Amino acid sequence: MFSKSSLCAVFCFLFLINYSPFITAQSHEIIVDADTGNEVDDLYALVRLFLEPTVQVTALNAAHWQTSHWAEERSMENSHRLNQQLLGEMRMEIRTLRGAPARMYDWGDRAQHSAAAYEIIGQAAQKEEVTILALGALTNVASAVFIQPEIAKKLKVFWLGTSMDFETRVLKRNDFNALMDPFALDYLLNSEVELYIMPINVAAAMEVEYTELKDAIGKHPLGSHLIQRWDNHLDGSRKNRVLWDLGLVSAFINADFAEKEVITTSRDSGNRPITFYKRLDAGAVYQDFYKMLLAFEPK
């Protein structure tokens, strides 16, 4: 005869066997903020996110890069268009929202009031925690916090930007993403937002040759679309480039791909603990990306 405790253990085991697919299918909800029109890497990062079964993208916000000397007119709108185009290529449906058309204002109400900013505010009002992956300027995130400061403690933001000297603990803010909205970065550094930052000197490990990438994914329909993005870009003749955002996204999905360190920043950078990605296994990131993409078949 089985004891009650034995029967309970058997029942629990059978439950896990039969229903584990439903348990593992539960995904982590995130908002993505992408300046897709700026560079090549955003599309690769978005593809990896959309193919991840443990992640549910609840909103895809378009970010600007209007401050750049190389910016085209309506850079945010171009990001918004490319976001929608990618979803069409993948035959997926995710809410896409327009973000700020430019950096935050210089005085008064400094926030850029956009659909993206209010999406962040709306989700924060309904949830205990909101995770955001920001792949460009921090304008949309900082504007949301500027409009509704009390949401700051609910936000967990993963961002690519700045450079960190891990020996001297010196944080520099002279990279592209930081310079697209310096006030937004400064505002978030001095806020209660929980920040996870991948510095560009770490993400630089994501350099890849065009021939390697094309050989790996060029024959896949979606891979061909990504290669076309490289070809058609302003500097499409480059033989290699860094797919920065793919590094951040992959490290977010798989913690084994990167090493992190918590550093207390200097007084002019918030004077608070921030988690920085310190090392990145770019080889593992690319092998994971190739595997996921080549297994994808549009519905």
As a whole number of angstroms, the distance between CA 15 and CA 9 comes to 10
Residue type, 133: L
pLDDT computed for residue 26 by the predictor: 58
What residues make up the domain containing 226? 26-294
d(CA 119, CA 148): 12
Query: 275 falls in which pLDDT band (50, 70, 90)?
Result: very high
The Cα angle at residue 155 between residues 154 and 156, in degrees rounded to 5: 125
Q: Is residue 103 part of a domain?
A: yes
Q: How many separate domains does the chain show?
A: 1
DSSP string, 134-183: E-S-SHHHHHHHHHSGGGGGGEEEEEE--EEETTTTEEE--SHHHHT-HH
In a domain, 130, yes or no: yes
CATH of residue 290's domain is: 3.90.245.10
**Within a domain: 11:** no
* Res 112: pLDDT: 98
Q: What is the pLDDT of residues 67-99, one digit of tens each?
A: 999 898 999 999 999 999 999 999 999 999 999
State the Cα–Cα distance between residues 264 and 285, nearest whole angstrom.
28
For residue 7, tell me if it sits in a domain: no
Does residue 5 lie in a domain region?
Answer: no
Question: Residue 290, SS3?
Answer: helix
Cα 282-285-288 angle, rounded to 5 deg: 150
The answer as to whether 4 is a domain residue is no
- SS3 label, residue 2: coil
Residue 192 domain flag: yes
Predicted confidence band at 15 (pLDDT cuts at 50, 70, 90)?
A: very low
Q: Residue 1: inside a domain, yes or no?
A: no
Angle at 134 between CA 55 and CA 93, to 5 degrees: 45
Whose tokens are 């913690």? That residue is: 255
Judge contact between 147 and 111, C-beta under 8 A.
yes
Q: Does residue 171 contact residue 270 with C-beta atoms inside 8 Å?
A: no
Positive or negative torsion for Cα 118, 125, 43, 240: positive
> What is the share, in percent, of the chain residues with pLDDT greater than 90?
87
